[in-house]
Amino acid sequence: MANVLITGGAGFLGSHLCDRFIAEGDNVFCMDNFITGSPENIAHLMGNKKFKFIEYDVTNYIYVEEDLDYILHFASPASPIDYLKFPIQTLKVGSLGTHKALGLAKAKNATFLIASTSEVYGDPLIHPQKEDYWGNVNPVGMRGVYDEAKRFAEAMTMAYHRYHNVDTRILRIFNTYGPRMRINDGRAIPNFINQALNNEPLTVYGDGSQTRSVCYVDDLVEGIHRLLLSKENDPVNIGNPDEITMLGLAEEIRDLINPNCEIIFQDLPSDDPKIRKPDTTRANTILNWEAKVNRKEGLDKTIKNFKERLGM
């Protein structure tokens, strides 16, 4: 039975992690300031003796009285529309927040895991992306606030590992989807599902030829759990390598919900990566992990959850 602190624990991924550690019998300390997280995501855990919620902004000094075995730093805006809305908070939580969470890990002798991202590869020039690729990031573009904060977070994590001997993990998360994503999250899958359910045109940005490889949340959570319990200090990609164009994804979601919906094309946001697909060899070999949920199954579950929340 471990004591686990999850920053950003009321967010999409954070709340699924809270559920996982509670299911393992661990004690979960969940921190969130609700900038993009939401109380509904953790409402079902309130009152559970093994769950403690602390409303807090982790860019400030973090004090936790109890011993901690694991700290998972998941606090951060994570949708491109959020980086535009909260650019300074995004930079602060990736830099100052990571520093504070690492300081806490050092003080508690806890294992630390940073939620990094495929965005560290920027608009990648190699494909699929392997962990030893250094990336192609525009530091002053609209996405720079997220990408550079996460790159700083990785550098800070390695510095605490090398100079303070903190036991650390670096997880590079590729596009993930599933129940509890905000309806108005702004990312492709929630947008397309919400639009199709409301009989609105699906908005594909650019010509829709850009690709992503989308992972169902349960697969991601399993990968995170395995990485945490491993001894791996170097970065590990976790994602589903099944690549699809955004037009293809819009068509797939349209056909699952409402084949009569129109698809319209809108401006491509600046610095939008043209291709993205994880090379998961390291996760396969080190963690014996691979994504198991195919897109149809994952989308069906996500659509069902969106319908429930929209009262349909």
Whether 146 is catalytic: yes
φ, ψ of residue 269 to 5 degrees: the values are: -60, 155
| Residue 166 found at the interface with ligand UDP (CB under 6 A) | no
Specify the stretch interacting with ligand UDP by CB under 6 A; choose among 155-163, 205-213, 229-237, 301-309: 205-213
Query: In angstroms, what CA-CA distances link 259 with 54, 196, 256?
Result: 44, 9, 7
At its nearest, how many Å lie between ligand UDP and the CB of residue 212? 5
Residue 244 structure tokens: 């699809």
At its nearest, how many Å lie between ligand UDP and the CB of residue 76? 12
CB 257 within 8 A of CB 207: no
Catalytic residue among 70, 83, 121, 146, which? 146
Nearer to ligand UDP, 159 or 244 (CB): 244
| Residue 205 found at the interface with ligand UDP (CB under 6 A) | yes
CB 185 within 8 A of CB 223: no
| Residue 80 found at the interface with ligand UDP (CB under 6 A) | yes
Helix, coil or strand: residue 70: strand
* Chosen residue from 33, 111, 175, 237 binding ligand UDP by CB under 6 A: 175
* Chosen residue from 87, 141, 248, 269 binding ligand UDP by CB under 6 A: 269
Is residue 25 packed enough to be buried (19+ CB in 10 Å), middle (13-18) or exposed (0-12)? Answer: exposed
* Chosen residue from 95, 129, 210, 302 binding ligand UDP by CB under 6 A: 210
| Residue 203 found at the interface with ligand UDP (CB under 6 A) | yes
* E strand segments, the chain: 3-7, 27-32, 51-55, 70-73, 111-117, 168-173, 176-177, 202-205, 211-213, 215-216, 236-238, 243-245, 263-266
Active-site positions read 146
- Point out which residues bind ligand UDP (CB under 6 A): 80, 175, 187-188, 191, 203-205, 210, 212, 246, 268-269, 272
